[in-house]
A and B are shown apart, each in its own frame.
Chain A
């Protein structure tokens, strides 16, 4: 255990840097603000690196723990720590923040320091969500992270930004308010305790489990988002600026699934098992129906947004194929959850990269319509290679990160139920169809639009960003142990825990 409170640093360093950026921006010193922003993002990653590389893979226990009383009156503690479920997310978040801040276009006249500030603050809040071990602390970060995203979409978004921002905020708030009530209920149920670890251990009766499960469901299903609560997401994605879309897809979408793993499964295991079929059904609906919807999109950003929903359906499917008599074994559940976790990390890289690529095109032509493009390969060969790689990862081609998660979830599904496995596997066809069809229409064919012929290939900054993302995609694809090693013990500990009924 190191003496430096790494998690606190990972939360508050970016936030402090964000406030400095804001101050420098208000003072009119944009270059200084830019320096602060880059420094803050780099510092965040620097602080988070030891969390990943110094992670002890031989224990499922919480690591890098910090605990101080925060609001003693309600026994709320400032309690932080990471285990195999969350360590990789903190790292991913800091990495994506650096990508977003570094990758944002600064040369243009419209560079807004406050935009970088919002990214940094958001990054700190997300780190808080992933490392909070106190229910209220989790909730506070969970809800506070709405504000930066709301501002990001509303201020720097596209023409329909106001509607998208409101829809995003109110939808998510609608989900998280029942969560607040459920947490207060658990506080009393546990005899006055907000500690998540204590909630894991306490027995809890059937009826309460059901209510609490559906409160969790509201919050996390909206956030994930699961079909049919996903409607805010495509709108938010389309209207958000490029950086906002990247963060939304790469990190914000993971919060819901992470919430299911951290809270729903271990706190109310019996209800989770009982209603797992609902989750599986909704997940399959997302995979198939949203996959088909993605096929019909004319707007690239919308297409990738729907593909994100479909991929997140895969994640929730992996999480909820729980061990049941006559159904899956513990080993296959473990496979499913591990697959879901890897899929989440992988999707962070892939979707982030896809949105960055669309941003690259949009900055040049100011159009996201597939019909406006065609023949990009001729004008931007380097870009076309990268876009190809990420499209392949989106499909789940072996060797890319997308493959690992999908194959694990499908393997798990095969043992769970052949019908489920069959429907889930249809994603391989659907995602290939919509991704490749988009790639074909945008990249190949004759150049019909004169604006496309005049395009410049990616510059050094874009090349660097795309290479880093590509490195992540290939790294996980070729050496998935780098992730699964960290997760394995925590996942099996989680499954061992939820196998025991908490009903008394």
Chain B
């Protein structure tokens, strides 16, 4: 018997060193949390932050600055888009940790180690998704991202609301994962490969299987829609935002969206661009539905967390509007502009959403945790810094200049008009007018409504005030000087996805 010559070559670990480092830190945190004394549990927070800072440093040093590096037989891609999105993920997760530090210590004293470890596992999942070069890696990353979050939602064991949210999230999420896996298998059947860049080539050689591929695409797109929380796959969003512990809702509302966006870009643009006409039509329906449902349902909410949930549905719809608009004509330059508009929109949205939940986390107990909008009454007097930041974030989400949300909306609208779909632009503009109403209502409750009886000033630690103010200021500064981040988005896409 003649064996083919087997040579085991050690894969190049360097592009994935940040992932490996985070994995190491997760183990360290888990072990530490087993043996550390109750009083010294604060160190877990520092370990978690150190993991993120270390990962950021490794991502920066390992970055090929414009080159595309592949590792593990093409399963793993390190390119500029991955670097940029990973840095954004570290930043949001780090913000999440800072905001929820006191909350976790107070509310989940037993599960502190688990909180940090699970969040970091989810972070690792996001990093894998962002860097995936193969459908298998994508799927593994997505599960690595989702499973810890299901557990995190249920972390507050004696809260029935949290248990319900976790159950709902888990069942629907598992269904979505199954959908996605089924879709991937169809794509494999149609093209004979799971490598994302090879899938695109597979279509040119294997013309007959278009129908199978489109069949698979339907499932893939529904999976993406579920993970992003687009209507009509949005059912879980309000319940989870409302039911999960606040710090977990803060997590869910921000960083995972970045990872799923990367998923969509890699799958739809890198892999399935030959089917762009098909996925464009599917996404278009989801986008319009999400903007309509999200904005209209948000008006009726009396709970701030549910309002933010519906607002996130509409924002994700608006964000994908860019992606959808890139496809109409094959002009690659417009495509880059359209996708980078989506990316800019997403990054500014994530920053705003994290800030909004961050303010909520810092509110004193009954108001913050229940998240009733009426609990914000008189916030302008009770805590000028928190209220001013929240106002900034609300105006930004409503898309009013000079705040980041305006230029996000603007750049997506430019992409839509460039594609010539005026009715879509008109629709988007109409729904952003509807959306302005409920953001203004929050400002109204904070500033115009009288102070409730017995309301007291809110004591916030100075460091948290600085953090919140910095978050608000970042949103304002991105609205005055958006060019740098916009340029970075364009650059990173042109060096990676469109290289």
Contacts and interface: CB of A to CB of B under 8 A. Distances in A.
B417 A173 contact: no
Interface string B410-453: 11011001100010011001101100110010011001100000
Nearest to A179: B429
B274 interface: no
A216 B443 CA distance: 29
B413 A181 contact: yes
B483 interface: yes
| Residues of A contacting B: mostly | helix
Contacts of A162: 444, 448
A187 B414 contact: yes
Interface residues on B, range: 20 to 34
Nearest to A211: B422
A180 B384 CA distance: 32
A244 interface: no
B413 A154 contact: no
Interface string B446-466: 011000000000000000000
A500 interface: no
Contacts of A169: 436, 440
Interface residues of A, number: 34
A146 interface: yes
A416 to B, nearest CB: 35
Contact of B410 (A154, A174, A180): A180
Given A140-B401, A155-B447, A169-B436, A74 B417 contact: no
B406 A26 contact: no
Contact of B486 (A71, A147, A151): A71
A161 interface: yes
A277 interface: no
Contacts of A147: 395, 400
B482 interface: yes
Given A71-B486, A151-B447, A169-B440, A184 B402 contact: no
A386 interface: no
Nearest to B487: A73
B490 interface: yes
A174 B429 CA distance: 9
Contact of B483 (A70, A178, A180, A188): A70
Given A174-B433, A180-B410, A184-B413, A73 B401 contact: no
A146 B444 CA distance: 14
A385 interface: no
A275 to B, nearest CB: 20
Given A73-B483, A184-B417, A166 B437 contact: yes
A144 interface: yes
B425 A181 contact: yes
B414 A26 contact: no
Interface in A428-474: none
A187 B416 CA distance: 13
A177 interface: yes
18 contacts: A74-B410, A74-B414, A139-B401, A144-B402, A151-B447, A154-B443, A154-B447, A155-B447, A161-B448, A166-B437, A177-B429, A177-B430, A177-B432, A177-B433, A180-B410, A181-B429, A184-B425, A187-B417
Given A144-B402, A161-B448, 18 more contacts: A74-B410, A74-B411, A141-B401, A144-B400, A150-B443, A154-B443, A155-B380, A162-B444, A162-B448, A165-B448, A166-B440, A169-B440, A170-B433, A170-B440, A180-B410, A181-B417, A181-B429, A185-B422
Interface of B: 380, 384, 395, 400-402, 406-407, 410-411, 413-414, 417-418, 422, 425-426, 429-430, 432-433, 436-437, 440, 443-444, 447-448, 482-483, 486-487, 490
7 smallest A-B Cβ distances: which pairs? A140-B401, A177-B429, A154-B448, A184-B417, A71-B483, A144-B401, A73-B486
